[in-house]
A and B are shown apart, each in its own frame.
Chain A
Amino acid sequence: MSAEDAVLGLTDVQALEERYLMRTYKRAPVDFVRGEGAYLWDAGGKRYLDFLTGISVCSLGHCHPAVVEAVREQAGRLMHVSNLFYTEPMARLAQRLSESSLGGRVFFANSGTEANECAIKIARKHAHGRGIAEPEIVSFEGDFHGRSYGALSATPNLARNPAFGPMLPGFRSVPRGDGAALREAVGERTAAVLIEPIQGEAGVFPIPDDALLAARQACDEVGALLILDEIQTGMGRTGSLWAFQQTPVRPDVLTSAKALGGGMPVGACVTGPAAADVLEPGDHGSTFAGGPIGTAAALAVFEAIDDPTLLRRVRELGRDLSDGLAALDGVREVRGRGLMVGVGLEEGVEAAAVGADLLERGLVVNVPAPDTLRLLPPLTVELPQVREAVGLIGDSLRSLRS
């Protein structure tokens, strides 16, 4: 539906939402109807430069022709048969995921949360196999692994909400990036360390190398699994296909989603050889996961992203973006890697106000914390668009600080 074809205006859509949708989201007052590349258009025809890409889902930009064509072609041929049968796109995607990362096996899911649920089940079963009756999973404060009960229990900030208690037993956390505390927390009961190599939802906080090394060593010492949640960092976001490839550790399990499907809901739990055969027939499953359309889309995404030239551009443009932001008045610090960028604002600058102002100016960003902007532009973004975004953020900061 083009902007011109939009039947309802924003007010009408908001009225429908108010009446019929659960109030779980606080949405920005925009009704997007079309996307192409780095741009979005609202129902009124206004164009926006998108530096959020659906929270790093549309990493190739909106409606990438290869992804659209893969979906269109597959949807016209075979949409769904369930996991009771073989389908080629799923098998081929599993091969690409495995061979590009840890070399083991893949379980497909419909989301990152579900991919983490699979990883948690692998960790617990693996631990039971080592004779651990009450296995434990250790995470960092600030980690975000999802909102279903297993993943939620591994998400310290959300797990503390008493409204949804009790959480699953067997989860604990240590301060973010504290390698010594993590080593202390890992013991004989530890099934796994489950962490994000760069915390995304918390506001883009890279975990230091020494903490990652501590996690790897602690896991090796007790026989636990190191699980990296690469749902946001993976698929080229940081300038390598997987973020762990720019760290001194190699996990036993990684989880992927978001950009993997290029806009289709696809998640995956990928193991190395050590954990490849933990799950057996009947241990886990899904009706929709690994379906032909999603996996065909993901194969098209892989084809485009697993490209050294594109990944090098991500690193280069990430440096341009970070350098430009760091030079702005009102910016306290810039964090991240590649095109996953967190902007810490100086005290007194409300990130929510900046985010709203930028939306007015036609730039879409995210506000994950009261003092932080999060930028996740498409990996196909051009340098002039990067400069335009930096300019708009600079304008907004000047305007709000004056």
Chain B
Amino acid sequence: MRRKEESPGLHPLERTTAERLGQIVEAAERAAEAVIDDAEAEARRYLDDARARADRLVAERVQEAGELTDSLIARAEEIRRQAEALVDALEEARSRLAGEAEGEEPASPPRTSRSHLSAVTPVARPRLVADDSEREEPLAASAAPNGTPAAARLLATQMAISGSSRQEIELRLRNGFEIEDTAAILDAILGPED
């Protein structure tokens, strides 16, 4: 018999069962391979997505860091410029006071790379300032202090450092020191107006 020849020694029922089991195992293996293939494909897609997201995030962070760095550099530059203006103003005030103490003409302000500061119009007599810079009325007159340009520059610098706007500083300079052309002082401290 054919079956005897194919599976000698096995009972026909056993042979049939074994074949079926073999088919089942084979089918299960095929199914498992398919599942594994699917899982691997899914994992690859997930990894690809994750990698793409990470790349995107890194790119965004790099861009943000770059912008932040630019902002910090700009702020540092602004602070440096204000500090230099303050030092200039203080130096000039010191020179002038030293000159006065010796009974001489006020010493010339130190010349630096920011020599445009000297373009500020000197004003001999500041208008006396009342309490509110926008509603100032002259108080009782007294002797005008010397060193007014340096004082005006120090005022403007301190106001700038403390966060006052260009308009606020300009108003204070006009009302407090009667400086009509405030642009030189303001440009030196805040940079030219856009």
Contacts and interface: CB of A to CB of B under 8 A. Distances in A.
A217 B130 contact: no
Contacts of A206: 129-131
A204 B132 CA distance: 11
A203 to B, nearest CB: 11
B128 A326 contact: no
B2 interface: no
B163 interface: yes
A10 to B, nearest CB: 37
A324 interface: no
Contacts of A308: 163
Given A246-B159, A337-B132, A177 B97 contact: no
Interface in B107-163: 126, 128-135, 139-140, 142-148, 151-152, 154-155, 158-159, 161-163
A326 B130 CA distance: 15
Nearest to A246: B159
A209 B128 contact: yes
A288 B65 CA distance: 44
B55 interface: no
A312 B163 CA distance: 8
A250 B154 contact: yes
A221 B129 contact: no
A217 B131 contact: no
Interface residues of A, number: 40
Contact of A208 (B101, B129, B152): B129
B151 A213 contact: yes
Contacts of B159: 240, 245-246
A210 interface: yes
A198 B133 CA distance: 14
B162 A242 contact: yes
Given A208-B130, A220-B97, A315-B168, A250 B158 contact: yes
B164 interface: yes
Contacts of A342: 131
Interface string A180-204: 1000000000000000001000001
A174 to B, nearest CB: 11
B129 A312 contact: no
Q: Which of A198, A213, A242 gathers most chain B CB within 10 Å?
A: A213
Interface string B56-94: 000000000000000000000000000000000010001
Interface string A204-225: 1110111101100100110000
Contact of A248 (B101, B130, B151): B151
A342 to B, nearest CB: 8
A336 B134 CA distance: 11
Interface in A57-79: none
A247 B87 CA distance: 16
Interface in A236-250: 239-242, 244-250
B94 to A, nearest CB: 8
Contacts of B145: 179, 210, 213-214, 217
A269 interface: no
A190 to B, nearest CB: 15
A311 B162 contact: yes
10 contacts: A177-B139, A177-B140, A180-B142, A206-B131, A208-B130, A210-B142, A217-B146, A240-B158, A240-B162, A249-B154
Given A213-B147, A221-B101, A335-B131, 9 more contacts: A198-B131, A204-B131, A208-B128, A210-B145, A240-B158, A240-B163, A247-B158, A315-B168, A337-B132
Interface of B: 90, 94, 97, 100-101, 126, 128-135, 139-140, 142-148, 151-152, 154-155, 158-159, 161-165, 168, 172, 176-177
Q: Top 8 nearest A-B pairs by Cβ distance?
A: A248-B151, A240-B162, A245-B162, A213-B145, A308-B163, A248-B155, A206-B131, A335-B131
